[in-house]
Structure 1
């Protein structure tokens, strides 16, 4: 199955933290009919962490998440370019694969880390993060504000960095203009 250009390519962080905190089904719900894929580099990062986080088997075994094993020259060249910019101490290879798929396949990427997001924006790669996806779902009536507030607090308690503290989602989303709420 070849993913369509509306596919979402997820980085390791969102998948790991949503799975570990019991919210992976929300990402599946948010994707709707869109294909969800990860590059082989993200799959590798998840496999390396499954011993410490057995919940990652949910991601690795999910039938709705495909693995892209691209090895064509354009992908490999893009990956190498991002690898030079991002990899330090063997880390961030997942982001390199995500960026390379966004660049070479015109997929929308889902990255929460600011540096790869900035690279994507400067290169014209379609990019979003999990918080804007969640806010969009609130605006469209797919998720409730209290549910997303609970989800955000669970992610924070699981050591996921978000740009606010516990109980701060609503205020942050309003200040960003991502939701309106009385």
Structure 2
């Protein structure tokens, strides 16, 4: 998995509130793209002009720019950011969809993803369900 440097910075800055996030920084399967090529800078500037407010949404801007330029799938949950990416042809997938893919492929389990969803909700992450509801929600949606 490739993440833009701005996302790595956001995660790093949040570790004092959520120490478990250090696992993301230490994961050997997550690589940080520190590119400074013009195409990436231009795409990032375009998304920043549209989505950013101060430091808010900079991670989404970085993810969208990286996905657009590198022809990757962007994992984005924010509706406005998703719409912006889709306008530029970026393939978008949400966090829950990604985790449900993992369940269907046998890489993740329902109990594990349920705990992850609950942990995300505990950090004020917005999901279309409440704690303890992942399995019923995912089955109702036909995702698992």
State the TM-score, normalized to the length of structure 1.
0.70
- 1:128 CA drift (Å): 0.9
Off by >4 Å, runs of 4+ in structure 1: none
Go from structure 1 to structure 2 and tell me whether the alpha carbon gap of 1:90 and 1:148 turns closer, same or farther (over 3 Å shift): closer
Do the aligned partners of residues 148 and 95 (structure 1) sit closer, same or farther apart at CA in structure 2, a change above 3 Å counting?
A: same
Tell me the number of residue pairs that the alignment of Structure 1 and Structure 2 aligns.
144
1:93 equivalent to 2:58? Answer yes
* TM value normalised by structure 2: 0.86
- 1:80 match: 45
- Residue 155 in structure 1 maps to residue 120 in structure 2: yes
CA RMSD of aligned residues (A): 1.9
Q: Which sections of structure 2, spanning at least 5 residues, go unmatched?
A: none
Mind listing any 5+ residue stretches in structure 1 that lack a counterpart?
1-35
Q: Which has the higher contact order (CA 8 A, sep 6+)?
A: 1
Could you say which structure has the higher helix fraction?
A: 2
Q: CA offsets per residue over residues 71-118 of structure 1, 9 Å max, x none?
A: 111111100000001111321111111111111110111112222122
